Amino acid sequence: MIQDKRTDPDFDLGSFDEPQRFKAVTRTNVAATPEWESLDPDLREGLEVVSAVLPFRTNKYVMEELIDWNAVPDDPIFRLTFPHRDMLSVEQFDRIKSLMAAGDKPQLDAAVREIQLELNPHPAGQMTHNVPTVNGEPVPGIQHKYDQTTLFFPAHGQTCHAYCTFCFRWAQFVGLDDMKFANKDVDQLAGYLREHPEITDVLFTGGDPMVMKSKIFARYIDRILEDPDLAHVQTIRIGTKSVAYWPQRFVTDADAEEMLDIFRRIIASGRTVAIMGHYSHPVELSTPIAQEAVRRIRGTGANIRMQSPLIRHVNDDPEIWTELWNTGVRLGCIPYYFFVERDTGARGYFETPLEQCHQIFAEAFQKVSGLGRTVRGPSMSAFPGKVHILGVRDVGGEKAFVLEYLQCRRGELVRRPFFAKFDPKATWFDMLEPLTDADKPFFPGYWPDAMDETPGTVPLTVGAAT
C-alpha cells in the first residue's frame, strides 16, 4: 500500500499557502540536482546517452514527492520519467555513446535522427489518416477519426510538465514533427466544428493542454461557447497528465483559479467538462496537493476520468491497478481506459504480451467494486480503431483471442465480438490474424477500400459475426 499522506495528523487539507514554483529538470540541468549524486554511474550514463535520442523532462515535484530514491532504479515514477539504457538497442546505444565521446556534432545529430526514424515515430496513421481537410486543404492541429469526438492540438499545449518515457507522441518533443500537429487558429477550429454537426465532443490534447496559461486556453473555449452554431458541442474534454505531474496547476499556480473558472463557464453553458486524467500509478494520487487538485476540479462540476496504458516496469502488476482505481473512486474519479502500450519509441522496453495485459487487467478488475468497473481494457488504439481484448478462449479446439472494437473507422463494426488466432508473443493488433473467414472483415488488411493497407478481397459483411 502507498502511504496516504492524508492520514498524517499534521496535514491540514486546504493549507497550500506557499505556492511551489514549477521547475523543469532536463538534460541540461539534471546533474545539478541533489538526487543526481546518489545515482549509480551506469544509470547516469544511460540517461545521458538515451536522452540524446528520446525526450527527457521531469520536474522538482515529481523528483521530490513522487519518486522514492531509495527504490531507484525500480521506483515506478523513476522508470516513468527517467530514460534507461535498455530503451535503445545495444548497437544504437554504443553508436550514440561513441559519437558523443568523439564530440562530432554533425555526425551525432545525423545518427540521432536516423535512430529516431527507426523507432516508428508516427504510429496508427496519425499524420496521414486522421487529419481532416477543409476545401481540400489539410487542417493542422485537428484529428478526426471517430464521428463524435475530434481531437484538437492547441499550439501552446505541445509540451508536458514532465515526459513519460513510453510516450507515443515523443516525436513532437524531439522536433521531428515540426509542430505540424499544432494549431493556434481559433477560427479554424470553430469553422471545422460548424461544418460537422455530428461532433459532440472536442478533446483538447497535446502534449498537455494544461501547460497553457488560462488566458490562452480561454480564447479557444470562449470561441466555442459564444458561437450559436456550435450548440452540438456538448462536451469539452481535456487530456492531461498535469493532475499527476503538476497538480499545482489547479491549486496554487497564479492562474489556477482562472482555469477552474473556465470549467465553471463551460458547465454554466449547459455542457460537460471531462478531465481525461492520465494516472499511471497510485503514488500519483497519494500527495495532499494531488488530492486537493481532484477536489477543486470536481468542485467546479467537472468530472475526472482516469486512463493510462499498462507500462512494463511501472504498473505491470494487478495490485497497482486495483489500488489506483480504488483510490480514484474514493476521491470521486471515474476509471475509463486501460490501454496497451503503443507500437512506437522504446516499445521493446515497455511492451507486454497481450495475453499478459489481459491477465493483469482481469485480476485487477475482479478486485474492485462496480464503481471501479467503468474501466474498459485492455484497449489498443490501433490503425483501424480501439480494439478491446475480451479474453482468450478455446474456439472449436483452437486457442483464440476474443476481441471487439470500442471505436472503429468503420462504425458498424463496433461492439461485435470477433476472434483472432492466439499468439503468446503478440504485443499489438497488427501481429494478429483472423481465426476464421468470418473474422476477416474486422481486419483492415481485408477491407475492400483498405486505406493504405493491401487491397482486400473479402466483402465487408459482418452478419455472420454478430
Min. distance of Cβ 322 from ligand SF4 in angstroms? 22
Min. distance of Cβ 192 from ligand SF4 in angstroms? 22
Region near ligand PLP per CB under 6 A, out of 24-32, 69-77, 139-147, 388-396:
139-147
Indicate the residue whose CB is closest to ligand PLP.
145
Min. distance of Cβ 234 from ligand PLP in angstroms? 13
Complex with ligand SF4: residue 243 or 408, whichever CB lies closer? 243
Q: Does 151 bind ligand PLP (CB under 6 A)?
A: yes
Complex with ligand SF4: residue 342 or 388, whichever CB lies closer? 342
Min. distance of Cβ 337 from ligand PLP in angstroms? 7
Min. distance of Cβ 177 from ligand PLP in angstroms? 16
Separation CA 163–CA 80 (nearest Å): 8
Contact pick of 79, 95, 271, 278 for ligand SF4 (by CB under 6 A) = 278
Distance between the two ends of the chain, CA-based, in angstroms?
A: 43
Q: How many residues are present in the chain?
A: 466
Q: Does 291 bind ligand PLP (CB under 6 A)?
A: no
> What are the Cα distances from residue 51, in Å, to 35, 45, 142?
17, 10, 29
DSSP string, 51-113: TTTS--EEEHHIIIII--TTSTTT-HHHHHHS--GGGS-HHHHHHHHHHHHHT-HHHHHHHHH
347 binds, among ligand PLP, ligand SF4, none (CB under 5 to 8 A by kind): none
Region near ligand SF4 per CB under 6 A, out of 161-169, 350-358, 444-452, 455-463:
161-169
Separation CA 164–CA 89 (nearest Å): 19
Torsion of CA 327, 333, 335, 337, to 10 degrees: -120
Separation CA 24–CA 245 (nearest Å): 11
Contact pick of 57, 95, 97, 145 for ligand PLP (by CB under 6 A) = 145
Residue 163 grid cell = 515526459
Half-sphere exposure of residue 83: CA atoms within 13 angstroms, side-chain side: 27
Residues 337-376 that bind ligand SF4 (CB under 6 A): none
| Phi then psi dihedrals of residue 159, to 5 deg | -135, -175
Complex with ligand SF4: residue 169 or 312, whichever CB lies closer? 169
DSSP string, 172-229: HHTTSSTTTT-B--HHHHHHHHHH-TT--EEEE-SS-GGGS-HHHHHHHHHHHHH-GG
Using the Cα atoms of residue 18, residue 19, residue 21 and residue 22 in order, give the sign of their dihedral. positive
Separation CA 397–CA 395 (nearest Å): 5
Residues 208-247 that bind ligand SF4 (CB under 6 A): 208, 241
Q: Does 167 bind ligand SF4 (CB under 6 A)?
A: yes
Separation CA 3–CA 343 (nearest Å): 34
Q: Does 440 bind ligand PLP (CB under 6 A)?
A: no
Q: Does 139 bind ligand PLP (CB under 6 A)?
A: no
Neighbours of 448 (CB within 10 A): 11
151 binds, among ligand PLP, ligand SF4, none (CB under 5 to 8 A by kind): ligand PLP
Complex with ligand SF4: residue 259 or 413, whichever CB lies closer? 259
207 binds, among ligand SF4, ligand PLP, none (CB under 5 to 8 A by kind): ligand SF4
Region near ligand SF4 per CB under 6 A, out of 160-168, 349-357, 364-372, 406-414:
160-168
Q: Does 407 bind ligand PLP (CB under 6 A)?
A: yes
Q: Does 146 bind ligand PLP (CB under 6 A)?
A: yes
73 cis-preceded (ω within 30 degrees of 0):
yes
| Site size with ligand SF4, rule: CB under 6 A | 10
Partnered with residue 198 across adjacent β-strands are: none
> What are the Cα distances from residue 463, in Å, to 86, 90, 188, 436, 438?
46, 49, 40, 14, 9
Contact pick of 33, 98, 120, 149 for ligand PLP (by CB under 6 A) = 149
Complex with ligand SF4: residue 207 or 335, whichever CB lies closer? 207
Separation CA 372–CA 322 (nearest Å): 9
Place of cell 540524446: 52
Q: Does 381 bind ligand PLP (CB under 6 A)?
A: yes
Complex with ligand PLP: residue 358 or 386, whichever CB lies closer? 386
Min. distance of Cβ 190 from ligand SF4 in angstroms? 25
> What are the Cα distances from residue 15, in Å, to 10, 18, 22, 288, 449?
11, 9, 18, 9, 59
> Three-state DSSP class for 22?
coil
Region near ligand SF4 per CB under 6 A, out of 143-151, 156-164, 189-197, 332-340:
156-164
Q: Does 388 bind ligand PLP (CB under 6 A)?
A: no
Interacting residue ranges for ligand PLP, rule: CB under 6 A:
130, 143, 145-146, 149, 151, 381, 386, 406-407
Interacting residue ranges for ligand SF4, rule: CB under 6 A:
160, 163-164, 167, 169, 206-208, 241, 278
